[in-house]
Chain A
Amino acid sequence: MKEPVIDVTPAAVGNEVRQMKDAGWRLVGLSGAMVDDEQIDILYHFDKDLTLSHFRLRAPRTAPLPSISAVYSAAFLGENELQDLFAVRFENLVPDFKRTLYLEEEITTIPFATNVKAAEKKT
């Protein structure tokens, strides 16, 4: 990516994101991608006056992650989507659709984590 990418840790992401917000950055969105069978990349895209900047949070998919919905309330949609598609879990996410944002019971696999059954669905 041509824009700056800042690596953040799960412990620090809340703080860092808040600093971005205080510095006047707009949260454009969140993207998720599997790095390998365990690790997930969560990218936070920020914009200020048409320039982009990204955070990269790399963590095991199954570990609970902190939600930034308390900082940017609009992040709830993106985080819920990540929960649906990757079965990651965000803590203190409001509102938490509990993996029902898109998915019905009929989908028993985790869409983007191939070969993993959605055991933890229905939490």
Chain B
Amino acid sequence: MFDALVTRARVKSPWVLHFDCGSCNGCDIETLACLTPMYDIERFGMINVGNPKHADVLLVTGTVNHRNKKVLQALYEEMPDPKVVIAIGACGLSGGVFRDAYNVVGGVDRVIPVDVYVPGCPARPEAIIDGVVAALGKLRQKAVPTAAGAGGNGRFHPRMKATGSS
């Protein structure tokens, strides 16, 4: 019962951190548009918290470069478990049209594990919402790494069986 409640709460309350990892702004403005009246992702309990320590979902847009990859890494580590990462746009997925530029490392998954990829250039708000919904499914599955992983701890985390999504 308790487990179910917690899972439900997690899925119902995904707070996002949006990191512009060297994007062209195209994907950023579409991500931001998700917050605005037309799309209003707060419907799903989402808040753009802007602070890794408060976030459950990391939205990354843009190409990873040699400078911002360190930031990306740090932000990811500062987020408390359980967390999911969504990469947005061709750039975040692979480097997009800039893949072979000299300061481009590639997609987000070169630096941190990515749970959901949202293609597009830019990814339109509906696509981002789809991505978030998919990520929530992932979040539902994420049992807390009790032993493994740097930050794993389970005192408040009821152990969850990976019951599969939805």
A and B touch in the complex (CB under 8 A): yes
Which residues in A have some Cβ–Cβ distance to B below 8 Å? 102-104, 106-107, 109, 111
- Cβ of B103 within 8 Å of any chain A Cβ, yes or no, is yes
Whether the pair A104, B67 counts as a contact (CB closer than 8 A) is yes
Dominant secondary structure of chain B at its interface with chain A: loop
Complex formed: what's the CA distance from A107 to B152 in Å?
Answer: 35
Whether the pair B102, A104 counts as a contact (CB closer than 8 A) is no
Complex formed: what's the CA distance from A4 to B85 in Å?
Answer: 53
Dominant secondary structure of chain A at its interface with chain B: loop
Complex formed: what's the CA distance from A107 to B104 in Å?
Answer: 10
- Cβ–Cβ < 8 Å partners of B67 in chain A: 102, 104
Whether the pair A109, B102 counts as a contact (CB closer than 8 A) is yes
| In the complex, residue of chain A having the shortest beta-carbon distance to the beta carbon of B70 | A104
Which residues in B have some Cβ–Cβ distance to A below 8 Å? 66-67, 102-103
Whether the pair A111, B102 counts as a contact (CB closer than 8 A) is yes
- Cβ–Cβ < 8 Å partners of B66 in chain A: 103-104, 106-107
Complex formed: what's the CA distance from A102 to B102 in Å?
Answer: 12
13 A-B pairs, CB-CB below 8 angstroms? A102-B67, A102-B103, A103-B66, A103-B103, A104-B66, A104-B67, A106-B66, A107-B66, A107-B102, A107-B103, A109-B102, A111-B102, A111-B103
| In the complex, residue of chain A having the shortest beta-carbon distance to the beta carbon of B103 | A107
Complex formed: what's the CA distance from A106 to B103 in Å?
Answer: 9
- Cβ–Cβ < 8 Å partners of A107 in chain B: 66, 102-103
| In the complex, residue of chain B having the shortest beta-carbon distance to the beta carbon of A105 | B66
9 smallest CB-CB distances across A and B, nearest first, come from A104-B66, A106-B66, A104-B67, A111-B102, A107-B66, A107-B103, A107-B102, A102-B103, A109-B102
Complex formed: what's the CA distance from A111 to B100 in Å?
Answer: 13
- Cβ–Cβ < 8 Å partners of B103 in chain A: 102-103, 107, 111
| In the complex, residue of chain B having the shortest beta-carbon distance to the beta carbon of A111 | B102
| In the complex, residue of chain B having the shortest beta-carbon distance to the beta carbon of A104 | B66
Q: What distance in Å separates the Cβ of A86 from its nearest Cβ neighbour in chain B?
A: 13
- Cβ–Cβ < 8 Å partners of A102 in chain B: 67, 103
- Cβ–Cβ < 8 Å partners of A109 in chain B: 102
- Cβ–Cβ < 8 Å partners of B102 in chain A: 107, 109, 111
Q: What distance in Å separates the Cβ of B48 from its nearest Cβ neighbour in chain A?
A: 28
Complex formed: what's the CA distance from A109 to B101 in Å?
Answer: 13
